[in-house]
A and B are shown apart, each in its own frame.
Chain A
Amino acid sequence: MIEELSTTEQGDLVINVGPQHPSTHGVLHLVITLNGETIKKVEPHLGYIHRSIEKMCESLSYRQFIYVTSRMDYLSSHINNHGCALCVEKGLQIEVPPRAKVIRVLMDELTRLASHQLWWGAMAMDVGALTPFFHAFREREAINDIMEETCGARLTMNYMVPGGVMADIHPNFQRKVKEFLSFFHTKIDEYDELVTDNVIFKNRMAGVGHLSPEDAISYGCTGPTARGSGVSCDIRKLYPYEVYGDLQFEEISEKGGDCFARYLVRMQEMRQSIKIIEQLIDNIPGGEHLAKTKAVLKLPKGEFYSRVETARGEFGVYIISEGGTTPYRIKFRSPGFSNLSALDHMAKGHKIGDLVAIMGTLDLVIPDIDR
């Protein structure tokens, strides 16, 4: 309060953006101080959708706690579940069958595609173009249908379990994914036609919300947000898990550090995800999809950490075990929280319209920030 008084001068406009606001994509509350249209300060207020997931996990078994993490970053729920499964497997030293590894990576990349598609639509909507949102949902729907057939759900799949995946892929899976890819190849070019090349969009994005590599690191930004500033931080490349080490794909990074660079990173990541899926879809090894595990999982006493690359950045799972059937303490490192912390730095001196664009390129999912 004292700080607020000292930085707010006569004639400044203090506006509450959110918790209900069209562009905060959920219940994020920003208190922004304006001088005319120019932003002087952005202060995010969190906690509107805090469900204390980490505390809840302490009373759930190692099989049960995974499903809760789908409710954090619901757009990359598969990848969250994957990170948890990896951590439990690390503790129990379970070797995951090769088939399950490939299926997991395929699902991760499909999730990344779906998440980026939704981001693309929402991003365009933030800067005022409403049509791309529906076009993005058309493609996302195809992915959701594939997910629904194999995993049994469209958003919170709970498909990754310690030791592999819950069920084998559906017989139609490979055919449908290939159909989707051939369909999506044409549509991603339409994305460029409709939004990327548009002169208004380019002008809205270029030079806005600059984040230097040093700042990106010091704010703890990860994922496309940091890679847009030229920071190499793709967990899939730096600490390969599952079969990522054997795959041919590039870590995308752009030097610009502005909104347009972050936008381009995500657009190119979609093409990289397609590349990964194309490499794997015909090469799913045979065998089991689930390793044999004990009925009740007990992690040995100790601390375990695993990390995965979600659509938004690095997702870390940190488990402290006392040797019991439930974790003693769990901490999730969610990418959205750190990325949001850079918002004030990026938005200062820009206009209100830019704040919305910057938030769009951060690709915020509020339950991921609040947990």
Chain B
Amino acid sequence: MAFLTTYLKDVLGGVRSLLKGMKLTGYYFTHHKEIITQQYPDNKAELKLPERFRGEVIMLHDEKNEHACTGCTACELACPNGTIKIITKFDVTPEGKKKKALDTFIYHLELCTMCNLCIEACPTDAIKMAQNFEHSVYDRSKLTKKLNNPGSKIREGVE
């Protein structure tokens, strides 16, 4: 008879374990407040990404259209993928001296891996990471961006 008791125990134990799992899924079926789905893009208004989230590199400009980039190329050197290309020019200071300055800050978003190394390398905090993550475009050339605004110049006093 021993085999019969173990046989029945097997069956009952198995059924009990199955019912336990069904109880859990049954709980979730009836408790809709547990649902975690986020209704993107309907929730765009309340969707707030943390300030450290790395979405793309941007260059900060103040209201006078001035930035803090000296064109030192530290970010370009720090970048592992060749995402950043800095084109420099020579400004002539009032004293008549030539001074290296930023002409164009080219940023290849399509190559960027958001590793944050350029931000860390920048000595003047001219660039930072923005939280925008919706980067899809129909033309990949649009992903190559010019980060310094047209007509912008370096802020007074930034060396």
Which residues of A are interface residues toward B (Cβ below 8 A)? 60, 63-65, 67-68, 131, 138, 141, 148-153, 156, 158, 161, 166-167, 170, 190, 193-195, 197-200, 202
- Do the beta carbons of B80 and A167 come within 8 Å of each other? no
CA distance A68 to B113 in the complex (A): 9
Interface size on B, residues (CB 8 A): 25
- Do the beta carbons of B53 and A148 come within 8 Å of each other? yes
CA distance A170 to B115 in the complex (A): 18
CB-CB under 8 A for A131 and B25, given A67-B80, A68-B80: yes
- Do the beta carbons of B78 and A149 come within 8 Å of each other? no
CB-CB under 8 A for A67 and B24, given A148-B53, A197-B17: no
Which of B13, B24, B78 counts the most chain A CB atoms within 10 A? B24
- Do the beta carbons of B17 and A64 come within 8 Å of each other? no
Which residues of B are interface residues toward A (Cβ below 8 A)? 13-14, 17-18, 20-21, 23-25, 36, 49-50, 52-54, 78-80, 113-117, 120, 129
Shortest CB distance B20–A (Å): 5
B20: which A residues are within 8 A, CB to CB? 193, 197-198
- Do the beta carbons of B21 and A150 come within 8 Å of each other? no
- Do the beta carbons of B13 and A150 come within 8 Å of each other? no
Shortest CB distance B125–A (Å): 14
- Do the beta carbons of B17 and A199 come within 8 Å of each other? yes
- Do the beta carbons of A170 and B50 come within 8 Å of each other? yes
A68: which B residues are within 8 A, CB to CB? 80
A156: which B residues are within 8 A, CB to CB? 113-115
B17: which A residues are within 8 A, CB to CB? 197-199, 202
B21: which A residues are within 8 A, CB to CB? 193-195, 197-198
- Do the beta carbons of A199 and B13 come within 8 Å of each other? yes
CA distance A349 to B23 in the complex (A): 36
- Do the beta carbons of B25 and A64 come within 8 Å of each other? no
CA distance A221 to B54 in the complex (A): 36
Closest to B49 in A: A148
